[in-house]
Amino acid sequence: MGVAHLSAVRTLPPKCFVEDDGTVSLFRRSLAEGVGTAMLMIAVVGSGLHEGGSQLSSAMAIAGSLIGLILAFGAVSGGHFNPTITLIQWMSGRRKLDCTSWYVAAQAAGGLAGALIACTIFKKTPGTPGIDIPGISSLASEGLASFGLMTIVFCCTRSTSKHVGPFAVGLWLMAAILSTPTNSIANPAVAIALLATPDSASAISVASFVAVQIAGGGLAAWTVSTIYSNGD
């Protein structure tokens, strides 16, 4: 009985957005998160700065890059590239505080690095952050976009196939970019990194967006846990 049980545990499929081996050093896992977030931000900023680009082409570039990055780094770090995923996993007891701190720091640093790299390759200078206050519609847009994205993420963590998550997230993100007035930032690391882009962003807007993004993620986590009330 004991051997059979251990065998069953070993053959459990790895989950989406959870690293395959939690004993890998935090440096290596955090590096994967930082590099992945930087590459995502290059796609976000670069697709907007590219001459002749459209909202559709930008949405495709961002969604495609995210799918590829999750597939590439997911086995090592879980492929979050988004502090909301990391924070919700910590709050639900699925991730330790030290790992959460390393991940969030790496994601924020990676996002800023990606924005600066994109500015460099497009020969643009980062703008000066403003102090504009976001409207209710913008806050609602980000809350909804984050709720939708995190709903997809946390539903996919319950899938028996680890390859479901990247494509589901990419497809939702592409649709949300095209159908929300804020173009579905839905990621605190990306929101913070917008401060280092040519157009820059309002520091007040960024802080407000981060708050509603995390709140939307928390509501999504509660919704998914209620819908899947029988657990994982």
pLDDT, residue 230, reads 66
Residue written as token pair 């899947």: 228
Burial of 219 (0-12, 13-18, 19+ CB in 10 A): middle
pLDDT, residue 225, reads 95
Q: Torsion angle of alpha carbons 85, 226, 21, 5, nearest 10°?
A: 180
Low-confidence residues of the chain: pLDDT under 50: 1-10
Q: Which tens digit of pLDDT belongs to each residue from 1-30?
A: 444 443 334 455 678 999 999 999 999 999
Q: Angle, nearest 10°, between helix axes 97-121 and 26-49?
A: 30
Q: Angle, nearest 10°, between helix axes 203-227 and 136-156?
A: 40
pTM of the model as a whole: 0.92
Tell which CATH classification among 1.20.1080.10, 2.40.40.20, 3.40.50.720, 3.40.449.10 matches the domain 15-227: 1.20.1080.10
Structure token digits, residue 162: 């680890």
Of 83, 46, 69, the closest CA to residue 170 belongs to: 69
Cβ contacts of 216 within 8 Å, gap of 6 or more? 84, 142, 143, 144, 145, 146, 147, 150, 186
pLDDT, residue 232, reads 52
